[in-house]
Structure 1
Amino acid sequence: MKLNAFSTAIYKPWLPKKILLVMKLTTLFMVIAFMQCSASAFSQKINLDVTNVPLKQVLKEINKQNGYLFFYDTKDVRNKNITIKVKDASVDEALNACLKNLPLTYKIVNNTVFLQEKDNAVTSVVPLNIKGKVVDEKGAPLPGASIKLKGTTLGVTADANGAFSINVPDDKSILIVSFVGFTPKEVAVANNTFLTVSLSESGKLSEVVVTALGIKKAEKQLGYSISQVGGEEVSLTREPTFINALEGKVAGLVVQSPPNGPGGSSRVILRGNSSFSGSNQPLYVVDGVPINSSTRENSDDGGKVYGGSDPGDGLSSINPDDIESISVLKGASAAALYGGGAQAGVILITTKKGKKGQGLGISFNSNTVLEKMVPYDDLQTEYGRGYLGRPYTAADYSDPIFYGQLADNSGDAPGWSWGGKLDGRPFIDIDGKTKPYVSQSAAKNFDRFFKTGVTTTNSLAFTKGTENGSYRVSLSQTQDNLPTPGEKYERYNAVIRATQDYGSRLHTDFKIDLSRTLRKNAPLLRGDGRGSFGLAYPRIASSTDITLLDDKTPDGKYLSTYNANPYVQIEQVTNNQTQNRILSSGNITYDITSHLHANLVAGYDYINTPALFVVRPNNVINTNGVYRTTTIEQQKSDVRAMLSYDHKFSDLTVNAFAGAELQNSQQYSLDLYAEGLADPNLLNFSNASNVHPPTESHTPRYKTNSVFADVQFGYKEYLFLELTGRNDWYSALASTRPNFKPNLFYPSANLSFVFTDALKLDQSVLSFGKIRASIGQTGSNPTPQLTDLTFTLKPPVNGITNAEITGATVPPPSLKPETTTETELGTELKFFQNRISVDFAYYYKKSDNFLLQSTISNATTYNSLYFNAGSMYNRGVELAISGSPVKSQNFTWNVGFNAARNKNMVTALDPTIGANGISHYYNIKSKVGYPLGSIFGTTFLKNAQGQDVYVPVNSRYGTSDASQPNDAVIKDVNNNESYLGSPNPNWAGGITNTFNYKNFSFSFLIDGQFGGQIYEAGARWTNYFGNSQASLVGRDGNYIPNGVINTGTASAPVYVKNTLPFSPYIQYNDGGNADKSADEAHVFSRTFVKFRQISLGYSLPQSLLNGSHIRSVTLSLIARNLFYIKKNLPTFDPEASDSIAQGYGYDSGALPTSRTFGFNLNVTF
């Protein structure tokens, strides 16, 4: 592994002094923890200097210094004080000194010390080493299971494979084996040296889940919906951006991942859009600390970077192998304790750590994945290059004017397929060579341009645990050579996490995650005719060999000046991005009493993202060249203090906590842009002739101060009521004016009733039944610098301070934070001893006070105004069903199904906005009475009877043809704006099947979205260039469409039956002028069903590994994004988009989709 990437990142000058201080303090705490939990590995000598202290305390100190465990009868050490002073003593020397005046003796077996009274012969102590494995009823291991020696505190934890090893005094010992969600079992040692302990799932819903603020609760206590996904499901198919692995696995969660390459952003929506602005992404919390997860909402960038690229989000730098579990808090009641920022829900990510009582463990994971681009499969291959607009005749081929079209390499000529039929006759190609006039097809051109991408990931993790602490160190490296030539992606991660108990009351947990991500030549997303790969392919004529576009003259100029040339991007454009990140957290808990606990959590997230964009001078997309550098620096800190109380009063239990939180965030960016590079090989600003003034943005520190409280009452473990409240004070709303209220209160309440327990129902069929209800409120963090004028200090003039107003936005007269109030009803049912589980939820959430920006008159010296101007609602249902149809000793079949429906509607907008609504991106708008981000545009004209209206054209084949006037027709267009659909699906869900047979495992996932539309601008271009199947209709001149022609006027129409043939050339191209079709021709259904992923794994039998240091070996074959079982969108990918925000319904040429195949090897020691 190339660990030098870490050292390079750590010592770069971009690290501010504050960050270095945080790193030093975090490292210091970790070193202290390592010294505590790893003493047995690093220090075998003992130092003691105590006077008249209890023997039990001295034994604990020896344990801390060398890790040995002690087994004794409590009465043997009670009331025994000793005085001892030893230095650099061995274990035996220290124990002999401790016990020399006491009636005790000892014996050491492995790492356990057995104490016994001298009256009993020490030889009677015959310690036994018991090994074993803890499994469930299906034989699957239960990692982390607890194994304790009954009557003592001695215990160990099962490793990742359920294996354990424990020393017991004799064959009469009894072990107590337990695991969360399973019924504990007592097992007699007897004359066994190896035990296989099988635990049965508990008949009650006792699983523990992670809820808001990292609080763990039994699932039956929750009055709201929550979903959990294990880390193994996240990393199963080796998706570089792990959040994409949740597609189709959580009801109500829609993950839309445009094909923007590894490290790119994903669109994650919980229960529909919640806001008019922003990306509507949920709040991400890692190990209890909110992280920075900002994204670039649209792929446009003002034209500076030719459509821009996606720098990724806050999740793309996290290593999937470090994730333990993910909890999805969907509703407002579940997320209300996070207040502002949790408007779109919360996703809690828990990372792995070492386990107490577990010895040294090593886990190595290596995988290699091959990636192949999926070619467009339905472009036409009947007609070839040319722009005559009609089938060629023999006379045309002898005509140098027409025949020359085939060799034309200027402008758009290599893309147009308005030539003759591909009949194989010889023609002169754009390279001047004579070739047969045949189809090259998109599949052939894909193979010529794209290569097979290869991604390799290697992860190595070390864990160690003692009785009082643990640590985990992981290193990982991902290298991805993508199918696009010259595009690479690398990610390096180093994570250190340490936990330690200092005595029985103080507990600490510290973590630091260093990551460095590099993207070389990241794809340009928005196709504007200047190099976007996705748009280039629909624009390449079916008879054009794509490699010819790379031909050059002796002086290096491209022979073809076709502006959709993908070779220009890979050869003349450099688009590199680097992200350096430090993500750290600390958690300190002090148990004041057995019922009262104090907790302090702190986190710091620092991201530094330098980027370089270059367009070298060339004769296709930019004759002068561009040189641009950007640097973005983001910082976010969070400190939370909390006091919690829990107690059981007879039938009533009380769990409560209260606390305060302080959040800080700020961002700095610097953009340097220049044009006119004199030397294409000299890339710096001194080589540029036109250097623009630097654009510098420094967002002031944005603070949120909060207090919160939570209390839950439980009655007889079947009725639970929880009340929460949080009050946020926003620095963004602080103002000297009276109309601004800087704080907002976010309440919630939820109720859970386990009726099967309350009514004492027979559980032979219905094992568990619960109904729940909740209501809660969350909000959105307001944008800073809106409430008052801001000023920038200038150099003093004549000793007088000078300042100027910053920005062009006038402060609003009043402002409120956005709020979302949600009500949820649901039920959870389990049947046949938990063999079948059903979870159903209904929700209604209303969002108010949307913050919008409106343009105002320049006469005010400002250009915009922010104000609260809208509201909308989401309502829907969610259903999740899981079960085990087959469950035997050697074979199990588990199936999971989820489905969700959401309806979104804009209910109000400020009257000043007008009937045209809010424009988000091209044809994407929001209007009252329609879903947020709907598609609007023109439609084809129809008469009152619903017949298509056609309009005659003067020339069937354009101006180059001498046909008679009015010899063809095209569809007429109604230029009034109409609603064309919503990009949001009506239904979304997935089904997962998992089969286990002995050491084999097999699983697959099929997911889909039903309903919703997309404006596919790529379809417009395939029509325009004559490469679509639609462009074939009418080329032979024999297609007479069934419709009418208006022989009257627009105000007094007279319709007669159409008798003229349809002209696809004029309809879609009009002689190179424009596509004359209505917008509705390019709006398609987004419905799809996809075979998302599949995996086949095999674990080596334990019998083959006995006697070695290897605990387990598992090899898996994996594949992802295999194929669409069904899709309605022709040619293009229904999951593609220019945007992950409100513009998601528009795609103008994203990268083609890809599928991956590979293998994964996991070895544990």
Structure 2
Amino acid sequence: MTSPLRRIRVALSLGAAIVLTCAGALSVGAQTTGVIRGKVIDGATTRPVDGAQVYVAGTELGTLTNSDGQYQFAVRAGTVEVRTRRVGYASTTKQVTVTAGQVTDADITLNKAAIALDAVVVTGTGAETEKRKLGNTVATIDAAALRNAPVQDVSEMLAAREAGVSVLPSGGLTGEGARIRIRGYASLSQPNEPIVYVDGVRVDRSGGFGDYIGTGGGGSPSRLDDINPEAIERIEVLKGAAAATLYGTEASAGVIQVFTKTGSRGSPRWDFMSEQGIVADPKNRYEDNWGFARYANLGDCVARLPDTTSTQSDCRGQPPFADALSQFYGTTVTTYTPFSRPFFKSLLETGYNSNYSGSVSGGTPSVTYYVNGRYARENGPWGGRNLGPAQDLDHSAQGSASLVLLPTSNVKIRVNAEYVDRFHQTPSNNNNIFGATAAALFGKPELAECYAGSVRTGTGQCAVPDSLGKPIPGTIGPGNPFGQAAFATVRENMQEQIKQNVKHFTGSLNLAYQPVSEIALEGTLGVDMVNQISTDFAPFGRDVDKFISSDPDGFKTIDDRTRREVTAEGKVTWTKKLGESFQSTLVGGGQGFVAKLEDAAEVGEHFPGPGLEIVSAGSTPTTYERILETVNAGAFAQEQLGYRDFAFLTVGGRYDRNSAFGKTSEGVFYPKASISVQPSSLPGWAGAAWRSTLSTVRLRGAVGQSGLQPGAFDKFTTFGPLASEPGPGLVPDNLGNANLKPEKATEWEGGAEIGVLHDRAAVDVTYWTRVTRDALWLRQYAPSGGFRRVQLSNIGRIDAHGWELGLNVLPINRSDVSVKVFANTARLHEIVTSLGGAPPLKVGGSYPRYRNFVKEGYAPNSLFGAKLVQPCSDRPAGATYACLQPGENAYDLNGDGKFDTDADMLACLTPLGATNPCKLTSLSSLLPVRVDEDGDGDFLDHYLGKSTPDWAGSFGLTATIVKNFEVSSLFEYKVGNYTITNLTYAFRNANPVIGRNSQRAAEVEATMLNPASTPQQRLAAAKEWLSLKALSPYDGLNQNENGKFLRWRELSLAYNLPTTASQRLGLRYITLKASVRNLALWTGYKGIDPELNVYGRGTADAGLDLSGIDPNFGEAIDAFGLALPRRFTFSVRFGF
């Protein structure tokens, strides 16, 4: 069997042979060509413009300007039309006469503009096309414009840049990847992550730790962030099916394509960057842990024993008394007086990050190169080093290289390679009973002690969190200094280490050949390979506090995930003038992918002794393995017809076949059509009176289809192994479906771009609507057929529509001061029109706390749960369900079947205990009355909101002051029917064992239990309890909040040393920068962070792995995670 490395060597050898063959033509080409060189500058500031595209119109000849604004390339002798364009600037054209064997100088001046319709895009267009010719939107994110922004990875480069593109961070652990949604949800069961390309090659867009290792949800890395941000030139984003048709199956969730940098002709230019920073978690987002002492001392406990048969031993199992707590904390603790300790805050520290990058670029007229290396390391804000080895750490070494050969004026060869070696470590976290973060939030200060539970013996030293307490003098042994009541102590959870090592390679070879001026041929061959090894290890003797009962002898899991995807594409473009008025551009070609995923895991549990850290040392080893392979191939064609360079009609389509389609399903065809009209390009517009006010107008519209295919094995009926005492056997597993076909999304969009005041201000508005038919959904059949598992079927439908608005304004554009203000917003409305008769499904399966549902007639990700009986004044007219009359409360404490008045409640609110007349023994006895509005007997089916906002967007500015100072700022917001599940505080308020440690809950419980409380005090506390009661059987109650927020996402200040000063130091430039990310947050949300989510960046291998309902719709669930940290960075860039 041929190994992957051998195949790579063969491919590289073939590429080298092609390069050497083409190199023989270099001397011949030089005899008939000349060279154009020059400098591109900003018309207002006269500073060089880097990254500008300078090219000969109608050819593939051209280059990008370097950081000094310089360019140089070879062309055939004669008079040529040189065009220059750059995002953020108006394009320009210049006639240049080139003499064979000579160098011709041509300097170019660009003026800033708020609208750039001449910008060229590639993604989804079949060939390089100016935006003004397209009827659909293609977003472009210019990496050069972000050179001073506080971004560390691709996810942050995408965040808050473009309307309709949502980058969803899941938490504040270092190296944690973000989920990406474009125009909401395109599928009910398949991955809603966009597909990702790098230089035309499909790459791994998954995340997490593989199939068999979980962290609790947070800290999961993203393979998208393996891409070197320093090597990126630009990112193009297709937002939906109308734009992504030519990408066929898998593209309905959107397409992201990353283009890496290339070199330009000239002597070697070296660029370096060094960045240092600190990472600080916002401690004000965490409420202290609250509690209270029940007894003053042992004597107090004995005196309150319920009967004479009880002895002092009955008090030994009680929580520590006030006298012991006073001694432990070094402060006075009195009974029934709530006090607090910052347990969680004590585990936070100031993290540190560093980032180093270096690159070299240059070349000759026929060969250019660009090489970049980057090393990044961040030790995050999670601390607790004195408690255990778990930490949040991420470091990566990245390398990128690009080689472009122009052996003749009509041949271009580009070779690209990207490689990353990445290490990532994170603590167990989020909604995980053995998570370190959850344990700290569960802590109850009245339970804290430095003894081994109730035994109060042992060996070793109690690990006490810094500045929280001190060991009781004379005590030794394990302890419980964070006051855990169940599962495990923080120190025991800190023994678990979750790590990952990744080696990720992406390589591509692109050949472009233009035999005649009208025809261009292009081919791309590439491979993306990921070797990912993740481990989850807990040592023998992890029960350092003699508290945990789960795996005290330790365990280790190794997950070995390998993914390889090969991309091949070939296409031909024919451009032809049809008379004086029309121009035709016809593109046709084919594209194919072969993707293979292998994931194997070994688990070893119960080590026989200390010091053993390999899987085979476990006494109960277990192995798992999964292999998936899919093949997708398609042919596409597109015709664009232009009329007098102001109106453009585009029609096209793609025909796809995929190995995941069912036997009875043939291939699928995805059509597209669009129109773009730019009246401002008409000859008469330039001389019109309104030209100075209404400078640019373009109208556009598009319709197209794309799809998502089912999982690789969903069409097969399979059987799984069964281990039994008589021997091995088989049991029904997957219920296959031979009729499976891809989902098909049809999207319409229309919009306009308008520039005013000589394009000093511009607005871009888009309306879109999408229908996903044949949506894949899980249908349950009668178990009597032998299969209890659901069957994937094409039975669903989702309808969605929205608005997107962008605004750019250049209020000041002078040589000394330049200011650009920008804003964007997106409106989203979605509804699940049909599930084909199948019942709704809930995120989290049988776990009752998550209340996110996919249900007909509602937005995907809607929330359903319990409600308390409400006042009759709030009940709709004609409704007959129970309600409260004035003076009534949502209680029936005496059990008479009637709602209690205050008098009824006061009669019951005598001291709680065995003698209480209403049998109220604890706060848990106070059970509010739920309502059943539809009378179906289900108290948990009330609509509580949705976990996606109606509106999301951003705004900010960039400014250049006295040429050398640059300031940029970015704000991001979400608002409108945005509901967050605050599960963290549902537990902290209501759970009697691992909660009731918020201030309000502790005060209510102390008041209810205090024998000295008056009935009136208990009545007030009982009414307060109505707003705190949560969890089963009240799931959904008091755990949802309005999640709207405004976050100051980015702020940076950069100083560019004057050129003369840099040159005196022997450098081309020096830039000093200070920046901060996540500077401030304004929100009414009372949880930890409105952007937290229990489900982190997980697997999203379309066609290789069925993502399912949880990672798709487990949104906006705040459950025991870390808030997004602030990152302060200071950097220096210089070049020579």
The bucket for the TM-score relative to the shorter chain is 0.7 to 0.9
Q: Deviations over 1:702-742 (max 9, x none)?
A: 1111110011000001100001100001111252xxxx123
Candidates 692, 699, 702, aligned match of 1:771? 699
Match in the other structure for 2:525: 602
Match in the other structure for 2:587: 657
Report the residue type matching 1:224 in the other structure.
N
Match in the other structure for 2:902: none
Match in the other structure for 2:110: 199
Q: Is the 8 A contact 1:491 1:517 kept in 2?
A: yes
Match in the other structure for 2:572: 643
Helix, strand or coil: the match of 1:537?
Answer: helix
Match in the other structure for 2:309: none
State the shift of 1:345 in Å.
1.1
Change in Cα spacing, 1:540 to 1:1106, as seen in structure 2 (3 Å) is same
Match in the other structure for 2:897: none
- Residues in 2 aligned to 1:16 and 1:956: alpha-carbon distance in whole angstroms: 79
Candidates 782, 786, 798, aligned match of 1:861? 786
Match in the other structure for 2:736: 811
- Residues in 1 aligned to 2:737 and 2:69: alpha-carbon distance in whole angstroms: 61
Which structure carries more relative contact order (alpha carbon 8 Å, separation 6+)?
A: 2
Report whether the alignment pairs 1:511 with 2:407: no
Change in Cα spacing, 1:19 to 1:793, as seen in structure 2 (3 Å) is farther
Report the residue type matching 2:792 in the other structure.
Y
Change in Cα spacing, 1:316 to 1:323, as seen in structure 2 (3 Å) is same
Alignment of 1:326-475 (within 5 A): 326-355=235-264, 357-377=265-285, 379=287, 384-386=291-293, 427-429=323-325, 432=328, 434-437=330-333, 444-445=342-343, 448-475=346-373
- Residues in 2 aligned to 1:368 and 1:920: alpha-carbon distance in whole angstroms: 46
Q: Is the 8 A contact 1:159 1:358 kept in 2?
A: no
Q: Is the 8 A contact 1:327 1:349 kept in 2?
A: yes
Alignment of 1:114-129 (within 5 A): none
State the shift of 1:591 in Å.
1.3
Candidates 656, 660, 668, aligned match of 1:744? 668
Alignment of 1:573-722 (within 5 A): 573-616=496-539, 617-618=542-543, 619-621=546-548, 622=550, 623-649=552-578, 650-692=580-622, 694-699=623-628, 701-722=629-650
Q: Deviations over 1:375-400 (max 9, x none)?
A: 2446368x644468xxx899969979
- Residues in 1 aligned to 2:1073 and 2:19: alpha-carbon distance in whole angstroms: 36
State the shift of 1:1158 in Å.
1.1
Q: Deviations over 1:619-666 (max 9, x none)?
A: 333323222111111111111111111122321111111011121111
- Over aligned residues, Cα RMSD in angstroms? 4.4
| Structure 1 unmatched runs, 5+ | 1-14, 38-47, 49-55, 64-68, 72-111, 113-129, 168-172, 420-425, 795-802, 1040-1056
Candidates 1092, 1095, 1120, aligned match of 1:1138? 1095
Q: Is the 8 A contact 1:601 1:640 kept in 2?
A: yes
Match in the other structure for 1:478: 376
Report whether the alignment pairs 1:1013 with 2:921: no
State the shift of 1:188 in Å.
13
Helix, strand or coil: the match of 1:579?
Answer: strand
Alignment of 1:510-589 (within 5 A): 510-520=415-425, 522-534=426-438, 536-537=440-441, 539-541=443-445, 546-547=465-466, 562-563=485-486, 567-568=490-491, 571-589=494-512
Report the residue type matching 2:998 in the other structure.
S
Q: Deviations over 1:583-639 (max 9, x none)?
A: 111111111211112111112111111111112331333323222111111111111
Match in the other structure for 2:761: 836
- TM-score, length-normalised on structure 1? 0.78
State the shift of 1:828 in Å.
0.6
Helix, strand or coil: the match of 2:969?
Answer: strand
Q: Is the 8 A contact 1:1035 1:1063 kept in 2?
A: no
Greater percentage in strand: 1
Match in the other structure for 1:4: none
Match in the other structure for 1:950: 891
State the shift of 1:672 in Å.
1.3
Q: Is the 8 A contact 2:338 2:1002 kept in 1?
A: no
Helix, strand or coil: the match of 1:913?
Answer: coil
Alignment of 1:1149-1160 (within 5 A): 1149-1160=1120-1131
State the shift of 1:336 in Å.
0.6
Helix, strand or coil: the match of 1:869?
Answer: strand
Candidates 1083, 1086, 1094, aligned match of 1:1126? 1083
Change in Cα spacing, 1:408 to 1:710, as seen in structure 2 (3 Å) is farther
Q: Deviations over 1:242-275 (max 9, x none)?
A: 2233222211111111116343331211111111
- Residues in 2 aligned to 1:19 and 1:32: alpha-carbon distance in whole angstroms: 20
Helix, strand or coil: the match of 2:223?
Answer: coil
Report whether the alignment pairs 1:965 with 2:926: no
- Residues in 2 aligned to 1:165 and 1:808: alpha-carbon distance in whole angstroms: 63
Change in Cα spacing, 1:526 to 1:33, as seen in structure 2 (3 Å) is same
Q: Is the 8 A contact 1:819 1:848 kept in 2?
A: yes
State the shift of 1:950 in Å.
2.2
Match in the other structure for 1:994: 958
Q: Is the 8 A contact 1:34 1:498 kept in 2?
A: no
- Residues in 1 aligned to 2:281 and 2:834: alpha-carbon distance in whole angstroms: 44
- Residues in 2 aligned to 1:147 and 1:714: alpha-carbon distance in whole angstroms: 23
Change in Cα spacing, 1:793 to 1:897, as seen in structure 2 (3 Å) is closer
State the shift of 1:194 in Å.
12
Report whether the alignment pairs 1:22 with 2:8: yes
Q: Is the 8 A contact 1:30 1:497 kept in 2?
A: no
- Residues in 1 aligned to 2:587 and 2:611: alpha-carbon distance in whole angstroms: 63
- Residues in 1 aligned to 2:372 and 2:173: alpha-carbon distance in whole angstroms: 25
- Residues in 2 aligned to 1:401 and 1:1112: alpha-carbon distance in whole angstroms: 80
Report whether the alignment pairs 1:224 with 2:136: yes
State the shift of 1:449 in Å.
2.0
State the shift of 1:566 in Å.
6.8
Q: Is the 8 A contact 2:150 2:1050 kept in 1?
A: no
- Residues in 2 aligned to 1:27 and 1:934: alpha-carbon distance in whole angstroms: 54
Q: Is the 8 A contact 1:373 1:450 kept in 2?
A: yes
Change in Cα spacing, 1:30 to 1:791, as seen in structure 2 (3 Å) is farther
Identity %, equivalent residues: 21
Larger radius of gyration between Structure 1 and Structure 2 = 1
- Residues in 2 aligned to 1:154 and 1:977: alpha-carbon distance in whole angstroms: 63
Q: Deviations over 1:274-313 (max 9, x none)?
A: 11124411111111122121245xx9989x7563665433
Report the residue type matching 2:666 in the other structure.
P
- Residues in 2 aligned to 1:1029 and 1:760: alpha-carbon distance in whole angstroms: 71
Report whether the alignment pairs 1:1003 with 2:968: yes
Change in Cα spacing, 1:1068 to 1:828, as seen in structure 2 (3 Å) is closer
Alignment of 1:782-793 (within 5 A): 782-789=710-717
- Residues in 2 aligned to 1:377 and 1:146: alpha-carbon distance in whole angstroms: 46
Report the residue type matching 2:528 in the other structure.
D
Report the residue type matching 2:243 in the other structure.
A
Task: Count residues in correspondence.
Answer: 1007
Helix, strand or coil: the match of 2:941?
Answer: strand
Match in the other structure for 1:162: 69
Report the residue type matching 2:1127 in the other structure.
T
Match in the other structure for 2:934: none
- TM-score, length-normalised on structure 2? 0.80
Q: Deviations over 1:301-342 (max 9, x none)?
A: 89x756366543330211111111111111322111001111
Q: Is the 8 A contact 1:260 1:523 kept in 2?
A: no
Change in Cα spacing, 1:395 to 1:459, as seen in structure 2 (3 Å) is same
| Structure 2 unmatched runs, 5+ | 99-103, 307-312, 384-390, 449-463, 723-727, 875-883, 895-906, 932-938, 1010-1015, 1097-1110
